[in-house]
Structure 1
Amino acid sequence: MMSALIHPQLGTLALLVLALTACDKATEKPGKSDRPTVIISTLVKQGELPREIASNGHVEAAQTIEIRPQINAQIAQIHFREGDEVKAGQLLFTLDSRHDQAQALRSQAVSSQMQAQLMEAERNLQRSLELEQAKFISPSAVDTARAKAESLRAQLAAAKADQSAANAQLSFSRIVAPFAGRTGKINVRTGSLAQASGSDPLVTLTQLDPVRISFSVPERELPALLAAQNKLIVRATLPDGSTRDGQLVFLDSTVDKSSGTLLAKAEFANRDHLLWPGLSTRVQLQLGSERGLVLPLQAIQTGPEQRFVYLIDKEGKARPQAVTVLRSHDGQALIDGLQAGSKVIREGGQNVRPGGSVIEASRPAKSSSQGGGRK
């Protein structure tokens, strides 16, 4: 009987303890979840940002050519060293020209011979004309003298053409630089055979001053680029951290459909050769300024589908609002999708959940002046 009375009481007590524990847990969760998140807010304001295009570019030589021989001949002399800076018209290679020199001299001799024969034929024709007027010779003799002079005149023209061809062939034995630039690797040596149909050039010549930098610009900037194409200054960052200004000189005639960008090129002076062909560099174009709604980039967050900010409503709760970033500069963004005066979260947004309560962080109190206090 005693055990039967005690067990029900113990069971009731256990149920009471469990109920009280459940109540405590139930009261704890709402308190923790409703605690507001501490944030720092900012207001969306009207302002303006520089209209700037920043892009990665690559340095290109203004001209690069492969120096190749026009004839098959032995290399007689090389007049420069690998990597030398050469001037326009400077002699680079001399080829063996003994055979071509002989041909040129022979052509010149034939031309001189034809010239002498023509002069004699013209004198004979003149005498024949005088004799014909005196009735000493027949007209047919004059015709023969005239035909001989005309034939020699044609032969002289052919001889002069051969002489010009021989001189041109002889000029191929001297290879000069077509423009000022820097030479690359020399692929032949003195005494080796230079072949016009060879796979490798004798040397490659690259113009380093000026140079061009090619880069891509967004297609949306095309109207502004076309409007100011001849006045646009392009600023490039050099390897040593300094900057250099150049001039926009080229816009491609088509837009790349896959990337939505347009190829552009700017020309830069490069006397110090800090801009080397193939080098990657950062370029910037200034297109004036654009006015609109300005917000710190710090306030903009990136979601799985779009960018957004946390808008603080009148009840002090955070509500996500999609925005479009039109451009950014120096930590500020020009946006669309909000109204001027809207209050958004600038710092602490990563700890906020949609619909959650937020509270402004209190400003740190000013520190009291230091010094000994009264006792």
Structure 2
Amino acid sequence: MKRVTSPWILFAGAVLAVGAVVLIAAMAGFPLSRSADASVPAARPAPLVSVVRAEQRDLVVKLAAQGHVVALNQVDVRPQLGGTIRGVHFREGDEVRAGQQLFTIDASDASAQLMRSEANFAQIEAQVDDAARDLGRTRQLAQSRFYSTSAVDTSASKLESLQAQLKAAQADVAASKLLMERTRIAAPMSGLTGALAVHPGSLAQPGATAALVTVVQIDPIGVEFTLPESQLAGLLAARAAGSVRITLRNAAGTAGISQPGTLVFVNNTVNTDSGTITLKASFPNAARTLWPGAYVELEVDAGTSPGAIVLPPQAVLDGPQGRFVFALDREGRAQVHPVELLRIQDQLAVVQGLKGGERVVAEGGQGLKPGSAVKVAP
């Protein structure tokens, strides 16, 4: 009887035999393919970069800063005389004029003191007149030998004593009148009043911590801000030349919301903790768009920087040793050039450390290594 072998069984046996041969060859270390591309690594293409020229130009120095609106003049109105508030002659938040009456303090005690002082002055004045007449009679009688010279001296001394008392009484009257004037508190300057701390019937005390009201000047108004210490020399030079121009920006960063301001104050010391200098500018504020305490952004035009080197901001990279750029040498290889970033202005980076004219990598420099060959994009 014949044994018949299935074709599927024969195919499976052949596949197993081929697999065994491949496994033995691999264990023996024989290459499975003779292709030359598998043993030779492919060459890495040069990275594609975009290049710009480091440009040298005379650039207007524009410095960005943040600050707060402050009052150029501010007065805390306080009483100089203790007493009960009898009247408040304005509403809190009103704009007042210099000399306008704000408060009235109970003047009963001051009025009584003034009356006593005037009465005492009148009494001593009468005594002075009587002593003067007595001195005149004594001198006449002394000439007729009825009185001695010592009597004349006594009358003269009495008159001088009363005249001194009269001057003291006159000073008391002046002091009492001053107290009466202090019962009427007037605005020391024109400005805007704040919140009231007292009301009619409240007790006013000269040594109280809180002021009766605060008056601030609104027009013109100031803005206090800071700038880096490195910008101080250029700013002072521009200020001496009269070329400092300060503008305000609103929250959207568009045009100034007020007329250009004037630099009115530069602090006499630099803050050693932050490395900044405090400055103050004055702005006209007739429209009341600026309010004390508000946050604002400023742009300071501080003269012109001749021969400034400018680059696209993305060309300046950060490294362990500081900021740098990749500049191409004569062979077209990227070399590291350390730079100092002075500021970002008009979407340009103003740097120090280049001479101008260098071919600097603007895009594609993140993965470069010093000395790498690059392909410049058209």
2:83 aligned partner, one-letter code: A
Which of residues 153, 157, 169 is equivalent to 2:163? 153
1:302 corresponding residue in structure 2: 318
1:335 corresponding residue in structure 2: 351
Which of residues 248, 267, 270 is equivalent to 1:255? 270
For residues 205 and 155 of structure 1, do their structure 2 counterparts lie closer, same or farther at Cα, with a shift above 3 Å needed? same
Contact 1:211/1:275, CA 8 A, preserved across alignment: yes
For residues 336 and 109 of structure 1, do their structure 2 counterparts lie closer, same or farther at Cα, with a shift above 3 Å needed? same
Distance in 1 separating the partners of 2:22 and 2:124 = 143
May I ask how many residue pairs the two structures share in their alignment? 357
Q: 1:237 and 2:273 equivalent?
A: no
Q: 1:81 and 2:91 equivalent?
A: yes
Deviations 1:52-89 (A, max 9, x none): 33322222111223222222211100000011111111
Distance in 1 separating the partners of 2:171 and 2:107 = 20
For residues 10 and 260 of structure 1, do their structure 2 counterparts lie closer, same or farther at Cα, with a shift above 3 Å needed? closer
1:90 corresponding residue in structure 2: 100
For residues 279 and 158 of structure 1, do their structure 2 counterparts lie closer, same or farther at Cα, with a shift above 3 Å needed? same
1:278 corresponding residue in structure 2: 293
For residues 157 and 361 of structure 1, do their structure 2 counterparts lie closer, same or farther at Cα, with a shift above 3 Å needed? same
Q: 1:48 and 2:58 equivalent?
A: yes
Which of residues 16, 30, 39 is equivalent to 2:42? 30
Distance in 2 separating the partners of 1:8 and 1:118 = 146
> CA shift at 1:193, angstroms?
1.7
Which of residues 49, 61, 76 is equivalent to 2:71? 61
Match of 2:261, SS?
Answer: strand
Which of residues 177, 194, 216 is equivalent to 1:184? 194
2:287 aligned partner, one-letter code: D
For residues 155 and 206 of structure 1, do their structure 2 counterparts lie closer, same or farther at Cα, with a shift above 3 Å needed? same
For residues 8 and 187 of structure 1, do their structure 2 counterparts lie closer, same or farther at Cα, with a shift above 3 Å needed? closer
> CA shift at 1:20, angstroms?
5.2
Contact 2:88/2:103, CA 8 A, preserved across alignment: yes
Which of residues 144, 150, 158 is equivalent to 1:140? 150
Distance in 2 separating the partners of 1:285 and 1:7 = 81
Contact 1:67/1:202, CA 8 A, preserved across alignment: yes
For residues 278 and 305 of structure 1, do their structure 2 counterparts lie closer, same or farther at Cα, with a shift above 3 Å needed? farther
1:211 corresponding residue in structure 2: 221
> Could you list the runs of 5+ residues in structure 1 that have no partner in the other structure?
363-375
Contact 2:104/2:184, CA 8 A, preserved across alignment: yes
> CA shift at 1:19, angstroms?
4.2
Distance in 1 separating the partners of 2:248 and 2:92 = 29
Deviations 1:328-350 (A, max 9, x none): 42123333333433212223334
Q: Percent identity?
A: 39
Which of residues 220, 227, 232 is equivalent to 1:222? 232
Distance in 2 separating the partners of 1:302 and 1:7 = 56
Distance in 2 separating the partners of 1:9 and 1:247 = 92
Distance in 1 separating the partners of 2:336 and 2:145 = 120
> CA shift at 1:98, angstroms?
1.6
1:165 corresponding residue in structure 2: 175
1:289 corresponding residue in structure 2: 305
> CA shift at 1:16, angstroms?
6.7
Match of 1:244, SS?
Answer: coil
1:312 aligned partner, one-letter code: L
Distance in 1 separating the partners of 2:364 and 2:18 = 57
Q: 1:320 and 2:336 equivalent?
A: yes
Distance in 1 separating the partners of 2:185 and 2:156 = 45
TM-score for the superposition, normalised by structure 1: 0.84
1:86 aligned partner, one-letter code: V
Match of 1:30, SS?
Answer: coil
> CA shift at 1:175, angstroms?
0.9
> CA shift at 1:171, angstroms?
1.8
> CA shift at 1:359, angstroms?
2.4
> CA shift at 1:11, angstroms?
4.9
Distance in 2 separating the partners of 1:250 and 1:239 = 23
For residues 345 and 163 of structure 1, do their structure 2 counterparts lie closer, same or farther at Cα, with a shift above 3 Å needed? same
Contact 2:326/2:360, CA 8 A, preserved across alignment: yes
Match of 2:224, SS?
Answer: strand
Contact 2:234/2:302, CA 8 A, preserved across alignment: no
> Could you list the runs of 5+ residues in structure 2 that have no partner in the other structure?
1-12
Distance in 2 separating the partners of 1:356 and 1:101 = 95
1:268 aligned partner, one-letter code: F
2:309 aligned partner, one-letter code: L
